[in-house]
Amino acid sequence: MRRNFLIIGVIFSAFFLTSGALAQKFELNKIVPVKNIKLHSIKDRYKISLPIPQRWKVKHATLKFRYTNSTALLSYKSRLVVYLDDIPLSQFVLDPKDAEKTAQVDIPGRMLTPGYHSLTFEVAQHSERECEDPFAPELWSVIRLGEATLSVDYEKKAIPLSLSAIPRYIEDPKIFPSQKINLVIPSLDREWLQIGAIVAGGLGARMQYRPVQITVSSHIIQGVDNVVIATGKELSRLGVPHGTDSSGSRIEMSHIPLPGTSNSTQEQALGFDRTHALILVTGDDMGQVKRAALAISSMSFPFPHGSCVQVEKTLLPEIEPYHRKQALYPGDPVRFNDLGFKTHVFKGMTREPKKLEFFLPPDLYIKPNQYAALLLHFGFSSALRKDSTMKIELNGKPVSSVHLDHEDGAFYERYKILLPTYLFKPGKNVLSFESSMIPLIIKRCEGFHDMNLFLTLFDDSIILFPSMDHWGKMPEIGYFFDSGFPFNREVTGADAAFLLLDRDFQSATLAMNLAAYLGQIGGISPADISVVFDPSAAKDKDLLVIGQASRLPKDIVKKAPLSFFGQFAQIRYPQFLDFTQISKRSMWQKFEEKLESYSKLFPVAGKNQISKVYVQKVKLDEKTGLLMEFESPFCKGKNVLLWTGKDSGVFLPTSRMLWSGRLRSLARGDLVLYSTTDPQKVYSFKLGPYYYTGRLSKTEKVDFLLRSYPWLFYSVLGICFLVLAVIFGAYLRWRRKKRLSNEV
């Protein structure tokens, strides 16, 4: 009887875990980067790309959102229509008497096949019965997509036992809101953690833009995909099923075994969760395991077929410093398609912009009077009115426009536009193109059409950023969240290291998530990043330090903006000078500021002073994390990014917050305090001194000194004038003496 109950329990658990039937409600902005939008004119639309994972079989979905329309619209001819892949799903009356509404759009599951689907919101807006102005300011509607929700009823498919299923089912960037993967390692030794960082970095790179939440444990976790990193002997000790007749460096794949099942053939058929994968990265020794880890982290689609593959050798490409995906390298022309931009056609009077995202090294030494060049390749239709334009914005600010002034249309190659380099930001930049095309003939009481209006911007257009040295002002935690700097100067992580002060799974989990984050930003696994437990083993590297506040070594944090050591805790507070303190400045300070205000060479920066407060009994809350960045005490120009808290319990929620938009957008300066339970509580400060990282040529060093110290510049300028005056005076005396001698 007891055996029968056990079999029944196994059958039920196998059914519920393998069927994967789920119904979840998601915030739309966690699936795609959307916000509230405003649609203008008599016809406008907004399009987003809705992802559906390969491992989902969607039965039904419901989209809910609120919208507000102008009260000047005519309800009998104004409509909001929602399309999926150009098929209308629902339409709503834009009624001026009921201007705020909640809309619900039901989407049949048969339309949501795996892949990307175009979800379009299109409005037809009219305010007059006849003779209407198509661009009247009262023609508008606001769709609150930033507050929209998507409810999905789906079930998980069984994952095929083939390595080719890894990029389609497990490392699928269409999985939302995030992918969860558990890394299983035999121990927390440095070698195993370093191999784990290689695998985690590869996972992050292939997830492209989707968060991947990694946990680290010594056993398989049910309900998530697991990657086991171990030798063959360790696999047996961990109780992980594997091919006993295999040897050498290899990658294997199977399903997750359910707990409590034996190895009999009958129960194996019921004892596996077929909706989740178990991936083995293994070998006969640690060297072979590392070879397999390098292989799986660098493989791209298609993976080999079959459930097991042996790895003979892995050769990684040599990548120059600062090179990464979607990056501009100063001095090299880069095509738009290399930055992920595809040829785009602007149609009709719709003004939906097309964006190009790219990254710049944050430590570029940008000087005045330098320009980046856009060499655009585009063409536009005929019958455009002469005031039609293509507007170009950089980071949300208009910087230039192209006049579409040929009534017969035109086609341009290498159309050159110069943009001042000081307008670019360190890290992520967004270049936006927006068309404003108006028909040649458009009269108030005559019909018009916009079907012939188009502008095509081709993806072989080029952006060229001028060459410049690397010399960046630090600290700035925002650089890490924007572009991974400075820990990905070498995209493989050869110049960086993890310093773990505690050997526990919470610290290891945060380290693996940081490795995945660097891999996703750089587009390649940081395979050469080091893992150390002693700071002396990585003194010449940029350090990612993870440890409890009570265990922080004094030699590490002696340059930190916040110190907990000694009889008192020293806390710096910036005190900005107001107008009442200007009179207390010295005559030389006033003279220096006067020079700066008259010169375009020196930006006038706000001055502040720092007060130091010494307090006792400073304690961190259990739910508070602390992030600091400062210059390494071991090597000038190197950096330390310190993650700490009262205990190791803060690191697991921190690893999840690492991927959240709130922490990434608000983390700035050199000190960040954040709550691990309330994502709204993120506080950034700039307390410590500045320092510089990078290297300047000899001529640029002179330029930097003269720009940094105005008094030095004007002193050198004065000395030059004095030397010229002396030389010119000596020359005049010589000429006078020669002339007098000739007269005698």
Domain boundaries, the chain: 22-156, 163-310, 333-464, 476-564+618-689, 709-743
Does the pLDDT value for residue 15 go beyond 90? Answer: no
Mean pLDDT, to the nearest integer, of 407-418? 93
Find tokens 């003269």 and name the residue: 706
Mean pLDDT, to the nearest integer, of 149-172? 93
Distance CA 663, CA 332 (A): 33
Distance CA 66, CA 54 (A): 30
At residue 548, what is the residue type? Q
43-52 and 115-124 beta bridge pairing: antiparallel
Positive or negative: CA dihedral 259, 264, 269, 270: negative
CATH, domain range 22-156: 2.60.120.260
Positive or negative: CA dihedral 306, 310, 315, 319: positive
Average pLDDT over the chain, rounded to whole?
85
Task: Look up residue 728 and give its DSSP letter.
Answer: H
Mean pLDDT, to the nearest integer, of 593-620? 58
The CA R_g of the chain, rounded to the nearest whole Å, is 31
pLDDT, one tens digit per residue, over 642-697 is 999 988 899 999 999 998 778 888 999 999 999 998 888 999 988 888 898 988 88
Does the pLDDT value for residue 37 go beyond 60? Answer: yes
pLDDT, one tens digit per residue, over 47-64 is 999 999 999 999 999 999
The CA-based angle 691-696-697, given to 5 degrees, is 160
Element (H, E) at 637: none
pLDDT, one tens digit per residue, over 98-128 is 999 999 999 999 999 999 999 999 999 999 8
Q: What ranges in 207-333 are assigned the alpha helix state H?
A: 232-238, 265-268, 286-298
What are the beta bridge partners of residue 463?
334, 374
Does the pLDDT value for residue 518 go beyond 90? Answer: yes
Domain 333-464: which topology? Jelly Rolls (2.60.120)
Task: Look up residue 447 and give its DSSP letter.
Answer: -
User: Would you place residue 22 in the very low, low, confident or very high pLDDT band (cuts 50, 70, 90)?
Assistant: confident
Mean pLDDT, to the nearest integer, of 530-534? 94
Distance CA 666, CA 682 (A): 7
User: Would you place residue 202 in the very low, low, confident or very high pLDDT band (cuts 50, 70, 90)?
Assistant: very high
User: Would you place residue 574 in the very low, low, confident or very high pLDDT band (cuts 50, 70, 90)?
Assistant: low
Phi first, then psi: give them for residue 615, nearest 5 degrees: -130, 160
Domain 476-564+618-689: which topology? Chitobiase; domain 2 (3.30.379)
Q: Determine the pLDDT at residue 301.
A: 61
pLDDT, one tens digit per residue, over 547-563 is 998 888 888 888 888 87
Q: Determine the pLDDT at residue 201.
A: 95
Could you check whether 163-310 and 476-564+618-689 share the same CATH topology? Answer: yes
Domain 163-310: which topology? Chitobiase; domain 2 (3.30.379)
Distance CA 167, CA 305 (A): 12
Mean pLDDT, to the nearest integer, of 525-533? 94
Q: Determine the pLDDT at residue 738.
A: 80
